[in-house]
Structure 1
């Protein structure tokens, strides 16, 4: 059976790579887990590995922080000799972080087939580094594992071949369902003095929201208004903590330490409302049936708007407060997108192994994907 490298670089990657690894290993493949170290805080990483039952990485590249260019270069420099040494049959990358792009680029230059999990997601907001990462990673990949029909539509519109595209479903939801019972048994609510349905949960971490003190002040003001109706719980992301000291915190917002995976799922599941700028939280709240307001001007996960419980509310404080009041009074019905069923990892493993077992075919050479997206 083939040797396959699975790459994780940041905490959102851990939840996405675990179902793929499990499914590949269940089918007899040799899986090498490479952790690039893009997120390098040992305490925060360790709790996610423990919560998910994810085995320690086979290789830890320890690349650390830096500018986007510095991180990309460090990951590429560290990953290239690993690919040369292990000679994998394929490299699987997940999501849209810097490590995803860097490792896909190394593998593609080495002539190793690349599989991209969460392919085809598009916000069409080129100010987001993640959007650049998504588009370029897809262009480099041989296999494109899309989580939803809209992602398939994006890939087809950009000129990708049908035999590259696989509607696999959402691996984040695989991990959510596999751990939901344990998460609901967590004592997170008790530890924070919360009751089921008695609070709103908020997360803020995107640079566009927290690096601009004026923008952050406005968002916090909106959260403060929501807190007049019910307590707002805000796990403090390291990026945000520094900014909070600069702008101050309205009353009614309760800061809590960063949560591990199980505790955070527990906090989401029992919240009456979630306000977030996270892509993954948009998906998890949809699966959990919890109303979600996305504090961004665009989303790469529109299926959570049409088939889920998410509302794209933007970043205007007055609009956020008004929409929160409306949703609290009339919550959306729970809806479940197709193939968000806990079996995405299995579909990905089957498609990847079938591809590796098939006769070698030339890589597509057209560049329509990049040209089409660039013009949108």
Structure 2
């Protein structure tokens, strides 16, 4: 039996691993001797991750939750390593599969290698080149000790090869986040705010802001929101707000009749809004991927991105963190001159099948 331990530490990780688990289950039905154990490190507590979260997205509940939430970066890394070492020693695996770039990704990769267990990294090779982001450090460390890389783009392939990774370690498979998006698209769910605010197709803008560079500097946050309000004509602005950001906005007394700050939405509700929005204004990486696939204009409030394919092929533009940059991009949007976007190679809903095909080949060759 080829045993794979799959690591998830935060809500987006579960979106990425769900299709992989489904593909493993299919392989088992085809009499391939493969199985998995799903470990939730508990890195991020998320009240939206109730039983219905797992049911809606058809994600099996984790076999174990290590409950390593809170603390500083170092404290959390240490807590995850200590707990996961015990877990992996008690439940040995042939391979530990990590996804994305959260602290759990790096911490569990380190533990696995020290216990002489091979590591596969889903979304290996992506880079922002911004070392001020904890995620970039996590990517660099994880990739430096990874055995097999499952990549989302040719840019990631190039990055890995330039760093000395051998061709036979890299598998260009696509994007599992898009597997989940395409599978769940028919199930998108109209949120209460749709009727409450009388929203209609392409007649509102969705906003998300969570990165410290945008929300922790209070004057920067206020200037950014003021600039968005000033340049979005008469469209409603739907802003699902993280509780931490909500406290800052309350302190700043930020309010406007068109700015609607709502509770964080479920995956199916949020993407219902994104699919029908005139545009999305965000500082999230994952949302740029989803918006590009759904052909929704996306304005990213960051100075860099680890997902350049969303710009070169998708509907995303890198606006930067200077609020004054917004006007020219929003003018372009309202003038009807936004790029249409095109298909991104292998972002087709079959990524997880390609990953599991590669894993079963490894199984046969071991």
Q: In structure 1, what is the equivalent of residue 322 of structure 2?
A: 316
Partner of 1:55: helix, strand, or coil? coil
1:372: which partner in 2? none
Give the distance between the partners of 1:190 and 1:309, measured in 2 at CA: 27
Matches within 5 A, 1:232-247: 232-247=237-252
State the distance in 1 between where 2:322 and 2:195 align: 33
8 Å contact kept, 1:188–1:263: no
**CA–CA distance in 2 between the matches of 1:154 and 1:320?**
30
For 1:150, which of 151, 155, 158 is the aligned residue?
A: 155
Structure 1 residue 187: deviation in Å? 6.2
Aligned to 1:326: 332
Question: How far did 1:41 drift?
Answer: 3.0
Question: Larger deviation: 132-141 or 276-285?
Answer: 132-141
Question: How far off is 1:192 after superposition?
Answer: 4.6
Number of corresponding residues: 359
Q: Alignment RMSD, CA only?
A: 1.5
**Does 2:305 match 1:296?**
no
Asked if 1:338 is matched to 2:341, the reply is no
- Aligned pairs for 1:173-192 (under 5 A) are 173-183=178-188, 189-192=194-197
Higher mean displacement: 223-232 or 113-122: 223-232
Q: Does 1:164 align with 2:169?
A: yes
Q: How far off its partner does 1:51 sit?
A: 2.5
Whole-angstrom distance in 1 between the partners of 2:288 and 2:65 = 29
C-alpha displacement at 1:211, in angstroms? Answer: 1.1
Encode CA deviations 1:261-299: one digit per residue, 9 max, x unaligned.
100110100000100000000000000000000000000
Q: Partners of 1:284 and 1:261 in 2: how far apart?
A: 11
Unaligned runs of 5+ in 1: 360-376
Distance (whole Å) between structure 2 residues aligned to residue 98 and residue 153 of structure 1: 24
Mapped contact 1:174–1:343 kept (Cα < 8 A): yes
Which shows bigger deviation, 208-217 or 102-111? 208-217
Moved more, 196-205 or 350-359: 350-359
Q: 1:43 to 1:261 in 2, by over 3 A?
A: closer
Q: 1:31 maps to which residue?
A: 36
CA contact (8 A) 1:169 1:338 kept: yes
| Cα offset, 1:357, TM superposition | 2.7
Matches within 5 A, 1:357-372: 357-359=364-366
Tell me how far 1:132 sits from its aligned partner.
0.5
Distance in 2 between the 1:216 and 1:307 partners?
29
Say whether the 8 Å CA contact 1:307–1:335 is kept in structure 2.
yes
2:93 to 88, 96, 119: 88
Equivalent residue, structure 2, for 1:253: 259
| 2:123 is the counterpart of 1:136 | no
18-27 vs 40-49, greater mean Cα deviation = 40-49
Determine the structure 2 residue equivalent to 1:368.
none
Residues 8, 38 of structure 2: 8 Å contact kept: yes
Shift of the alpha carbon at 1:355? 1.8
SS in 2 for 1:163: helix
Deviation at 1:331, TM superposition (A): 2.3
Q: CA 1:219/1:37 → structure 2, altered by over 3 Å: closer, same or farther?
A: same
Q: Which residue of 1 aligns with 2:130?
A: 125
> SS state of the match for residue 267, structure 1?
helix
**Residues 210 and 239 of structure 1 are in contact (CA less than 8 Å); yes or no, is this contact kept in structure 2?**
no
Change (3 A) 1:217 1:348: same
Name the counterpart of 2:84: 79
Identify if the C-alpha distance between structure 1 residues 137 and 31 changes in structure 2 by more than 3 Å, giving closer, same or farther: same
SS at match of 1:181: helix
- TM-score, normalised with respect to structure 1: 0.92
Greater shift in the superposed pair: 67-76 or 210-219: 210-219
1:54 partner SS: coil
Q: Residues 25-54 of structure 1: CA distance to partner in whole angstroms, max 9, x if unpaired? A: 211221111111111234445453233121
Q: Distance between the aligned counterparts of 1:192 and 1:266, measured in 2? A: 15
Q: TM-score, normalised to structure 2's length?
A: 0.94
Partners of 1:356 and 1:114 lie apart in 2 by 14
Q: Distance in 2 between matches of 1:185 and 1:244?
A: 26
1:263 lines up with 2:269 in the alignment: yes
Contact 2:8–2:99 (8 Å) recurs in 1: yes
The corresponding residue for 2:61 is 56
Q: Say whether the 8 Å CA contact 1:218–1:316 is kept in structure 2.
A: no
